[in-house]
Chain A
Amino acid sequence: MLSRIADSMFWLNRYMERSDGLLRGVKTHYILLLDKGVNEDLSWRAMLETFATHDEEELKLLENDTENSLYKLLLDTANQNSLKMMIHRARENARGMQDHITKEVWEHVNHMYHDANQLSSSTSLQGFDAIKIIDSLSNECILFNGVSDTTMPRGMGWNFMNLGKFVERCILTIELTHKYLSLIEFKTEEEKDILYWRPLLLSLSGYEMHLKTYRSTNYNNNVLHQVLFNENFTRSVLYNLIRIEKYFKRIVENNHAEEKEALIKSLGRLVSKVKYTDFDSLNHLTLQVFLKETKKDLLEFSNQLAQTFFSYS
């Protein structure tokens, strides 16, 4: 397979997965922000910091302004991580390798692109139009996963697609978890109730699972365990690392690149580190380090991967 194609496969899925995560988060925050909550500390801040801006002044201006936050996150073309920009890039990647993806996948991505393109700065993100738009885009992201899964051949391309998907998902989980932890300054020993964690869990589609799986009222620990280490949770860090390892192994199986040994080792170290972390040893200091390092190692792996397999220029 051409390096360029592998690159496009990887990034098509990274963008699609990021769009999916963005839309889940947007929907969750939008719905929860309509009520006057018991803890009145929910705002758009976590979402904006993850997907839009770190400018404190801008954050203060936007965090309690639903309409403009939605615009920034979904439509603003000046924001490189807005939904519109991501769909645009996903489609560019798909267009450049139409012969390597199935007709169904291409048409679906193309369709999403045109849908997203119809949304312009004048599109109303007010009232009940907003949730309609969010819902329909979110469904299209889910459908993308289904269309790929049922039509794509299980060859090298498939492996790179999945690698992209799980790398992105893993980073998103780390990012959002980090945001919700930093809002309480990583003081996990001070108990927060489930209402505090609900936006995070819903954004990761893990709320129902949480209720079913964790029974004690030690919410901080339970939530952290779920999003970091629960192997049955499709958005936990560990689950995603295990998937990454699986598809990476398939890629390097019959590959004789010189750098592959170094890559295998660096990924192996990362997976083992998360897998064998003693959960009880995580306190507010080690937790910060743990999240930071995991993310750094993952990005490093992703860079090495790109240098080894995708560098064609």
Chain B
Amino acid sequence: MNCEDLLRQYSSYPGVWDEMCDNGQIRNQYQLVSEAVKQVDVATLQQKDRIASELFMSQGITFTVYSDNAGIERIFPFDILPRIITGREWDIVEKGIQQRLKALNMFLKDVYNEQQILKDKVVPANLIASCPNYTREVFGIKVPYDIYVHISGIDLIRGADGIFYVLEDNLRTPSGVSYMLENREVTKRIFPEMLASNKVRMVNNYPLLLHDILMQLAPQQISNPTAVLLTPGIYNSAYYEHTFLARQMGVPLVEGRDLVVDNHKVYMKTTYGLQQVHVIYRRVDDDFLDPLVFKPNSALGVPGLVSAYRKGNVAIVNAMGNGVADDKAVYAFVPAMIKYYLNEEPILPNVPTYELTNLEAKEHVFANIGNMVIKRTNESGGYGMLMGNKASEQEIDDFKQAIEKDPRSFIAQPIIKLSTVPCFINNRFEARHVDLRPYALCGPQGIKIVPGGLTRVALKEGSLVVNSSQGGGSKDTWIVD
């Protein structure tokens, strides 16, 4: 069968924004791609699909699933058809994320120093006091250039109205950027001409931008600073990404046991002796960073790291304690932060969010639970979530009870139908829901976002959960002018 028929058979869901089709018409930005796809037959697409999988496998872009004591290497599913966003839409996304990050950085500075925003009652003090991710241990620590969030992956979704909403702020150790970069490299292999003819904006300078920022964060008197990437080790599910970024930046990849703190300075143990480290891009969570301050039994961190950080002898990227700003209950206050700190209207809207500590809100949510998604405030990865339209009576009752017991740990949002894109599944083009995670880099010279990001796809039909741990895959994301 040829793909022209497949395109004709493609149907999107009613009442949902489709990235390719607008009432059966192919949108402008997808014209060249659809023309190119029409030229090939299904067997060719199958072949491309297979080649893409082989490329991920042979490069070792895999995660390991452990069962029966045997590690099985799996790839993160990749759908060969790109997701395309126009330059004009992207400009809004870019400005919106820059604005949001500016405000979030100011919030983090504030909340770990003067706490003016709490005194002015813009954000309720008890919300912060009850936040498990508020890290008292870093209160008052001065960070270089007042930047807390250097690397972020803010999740966006597109609603039925075609508007991008912010779903979640990931300000701690967001992952996936290597997939954004590798997806493009794979597309270069399987659709070289289609890519070239669309004049897609380049993403592969991301590691260079990141490296620049790491260098700029070093204490200023150092002419040749040493930056390292701190990984939890080979068993971490994002380990491939850690090696990838270290290689692309040309910085050493270290584990906690490679580092040592002496007299409030951090060193790495090399064959030439101890070498001082000035900047650490850490992919280890706060709780595990320093056993003297946080979890005492953590073997992933470095004893004394926080003291070196406090003295300003080492920059840590992202800063410690950022969890307070991407807490799902604090999320609801980000638009207020933008007004408070910047005196601007938010460019990218939030998804409406109900705080369950508020009685009225709680009643409203319970009454409409079929249209709601309930999330635990301190969990991520698509865990600890209840989709009201899919859940059983029993599950709903369990959640209700848990909410009554501890309303601070939950929020509710109306279920938003994420936009869909065509995916090549079962030898057909089928509509699947997607989100978008652009990666923003924040340094002394401003906030840079490489044009694109990671489009995550919920590969199960009708599913709205895009997380890789829950059957999600990804797509190359194109910004075209």
Q: Tell whether, in the assembled complex, residue B200 and residue A36 are in contact, meaning their CB atoms are under 8 Å apart.
A: yes
A39 → B minimal CB distance (Å): 10
- B201-243 vs A: 1/0 string, CB under 8 Å? 1111100100110010000000111000000000000000000
List B contacts of A208 (CB < 8 A).
247, 250
Q: Tell whether, in the assembled complex, residue A35 and residue B192 are in contact, meaning their CB atoms are under 8 Å apart.
A: no
Closest to B204 in A: A35
Q: Is A61 an interface residue (CB 8 A)?
A: no
Q: Provide the bound-state CA to CA distance between A36 and B204, in Å.
A: 11
Which residues of chain B have a CB within 8 Å of any CB of chain A? Answer: 48, 51, 184-185, 188-193, 195-196, 199-205, 208, 211-212, 215, 223-225, 247-250
Q: Provide the bound-state CA to CA distance between A215 and B252, in Å.
A: 12
Q: Provide the bound-state CA to CA distance between A191 and B224, in Å.
A: 19
Instruction: Among B188, B191, B199, find the residue whose CB has the most chain A CB atoms closer than 10 A.
Output: B188
A18 → B minimal CB distance (Å): 25
List B contacts of A38 (CB < 8 A).
202, 205
Partner of A128, one of B51, B196, B225, B249: B51
Query: Besides the contacts A128-B192, A211-B249, A215-B225, what 4 more A-B pairs have beta carbons closer than 8 Å?
Result: A34-B188, A195-B205, A211-B250, A216-B223
Closest to A129 in B: B192
List B contacts of A194 (CB < 8 A).
208
Q: Provide the bound-state CA to CA distance between A58 and B217, in Å.
A: 48
Closest to B48 in A: A128
A33 → B minimal CB distance (Å): 7
Dominant SS among interface residues on chain A: helix
Q: Tell whether, in the assembled complex, residue A212 and residue B250 are in contact, meaning their CB atoms are under 8 Å apart.
A: yes
List A contacts of B191 (CB < 8 A).
127-128
Which residues of chain A have a CB within 8 Å of any CB of chain B? Answer: 30-31, 33-38, 66, 126-128, 130-131, 194-195, 208, 210-213, 215-217
Q: Provide the bound-state CA to CA distance between A212 and B251, in Å.
A: 6
Beyond A37-B202, A126-B193, whether A216 also contacts B224 by CB under 8 A is yes
List A contacts of B223 (CB < 8 A).
216
List B contacts of A195 (CB < 8 A).
205, 208
A125 → B minimal CB distance (Å): 11
List A contacts of B212 (CB < 8 A).
217
Q: Provide the bound-state CA to CA distance between A127 and B193, in Å.
A: 6
B78 → A minimal CB distance (Å): 15
Closest to B187 in A: A34
Q: Tell whether, in the assembled complex, residue B189 and residue A128 are in contact, meaning their CB atoms are under 8 Å apart.
A: yes
A139 → B minimal CB distance (Å): 12
Instruction: Give the 8 A-B residue pairs with the shortest CB-CB distance, closest first.
Output: A211-B250, A35-B202, A212-B250, A36-B199, A34-B188, A34-B196, A34-B195, A215-B224
Q: Provide the bound-state CA to CA distance between A131 and B192, in Å.
A: 9
Q: Provide the bound-state CA to CA distance between A31 and B185, in Å.
A: 8
Instruction: Among B184, B202, B204, find the residue whose CB has the most chain A CB atoms closer than 10 A.
Output: B202
Q: Provide the bound-state CA to CA distance between A34 and B189, in Å.
A: 10
Q: Provide the bound-state CA to CA distance between A213 and B250, in Å.
A: 8
Instruction: Among A66, A208, A211, A213, find the residue whose CB has the most chain B CB atoms closer than 10 A.
Output: A211
List B contacts of A213 (CB < 8 A).
250
Q: Tell whether, in the assembled complex, residue A131 and residue B201 are in contact, meaning their CB atoms are under 8 Å apart.
A: no
List A contacts of B188 (CB < 8 A).
31, 34-35, 131
Q: Provide the bound-state CA to CA distance between A195 and B223, in Å.
A: 22
B80 → A minimal CB distance (Å): 11
B190 → A minimal CB distance (Å): 5
Closest to B226 in A: A215
Q: Tell whether, in the assembled complex, residue B196 and residue A66 are in contact, meaning their CB atoms are under 8 Å apart.
A: yes
Q: Provide the bound-state CA to CA distance between A67 and B349, in Å.
A: 46
Q: Provide the bound-state CA to CA distance between A36 and B197, in Å.
A: 10
Q: Tell whether, in the assembled complex, residue A33 and residue B202 are in contact, meaning their CB atoms are under 8 Å apart.
A: no
Q: Tell whether, in the assembled complex, residue B248 and residue A211 are in contact, meaning their CB atoms are under 8 Å apart.
A: yes
Q: Provide the bound-state CA to CA distance between A216 and B226, in Å.
A: 11
Beyond A36-B200, A38-B205, A210-B250, whether A127 also contacts B192 by CB under 8 A is yes
Closest to A37 in B: B202
A215 → B minimal CB distance (Å): 5
Closest to B190 in A: A128
Q: Tell whether, in the assembled complex, residue A36 and residue B193 are in contact, meaning their CB atoms are under 8 Å apart.
A: no
List A contacts of B224 (CB < 8 A).
215-216
B186 → A minimal CB distance (Å): 11
Q: Tell whether, in the assembled complex, residue A35 and residue B189 are in contact, meaning their CB atoms are under 8 Å apart.
A: no
Partner of A131, one of B189, B200, B250: B189
Q: Tell whether, in the assembled complex, residue A35 and residue B200 are in contact, meaning their CB atoms are under 8 Å apart.
A: yes
Closest to B211 in A: A211
Beyond A35-B204, A211-B248, A215-B224, whether A130 also contacts B192 by CB under 8 A is yes
A228 → B minimal CB distance (Å): 20
Partner of A36, one of B189, B190, B201, B250: B201
Give 25 pairs: A residue, B residue, CB < 8 Å, sorted on A.
A31-B188, A34-B188, A34-B192, A34-B195, A35-B184, A35-B195, A35-B200, A35-B201, A35-B202, A35-B203, A36-B202, A128-B189, A128-B190, A128-B191, A131-B189, A194-B208, A195-B205, A195-B208, A210-B250, A211-B211, A211-B249, A211-B250, A215-B215, A215-B224, A217-B212
B219 → A minimal CB distance (Å): 15
B242 → A minimal CB distance (Å): 16
B294 → A minimal CB distance (Å): 31
List A contacts of B248 (CB < 8 A).
211
A196 → B minimal CB distance (Å): 12
A159 → B minimal CB distance (Å): 34
List B contacts of A33 (CB < 8 A).
196
List A contacts of B225 (CB < 8 A).
215
A287 → B minimal CB distance (Å): 25
Q: Provide the bound-state CA to CA distance between A38 and B190, in Å.
A: 23
List A contacts of B185 (CB < 8 A).
31
Q: Provide the bound-state CA to CA distance between A216 and B223, in Å.
A: 8
List B contacts of A128 (CB < 8 A).
48, 51, 189-192
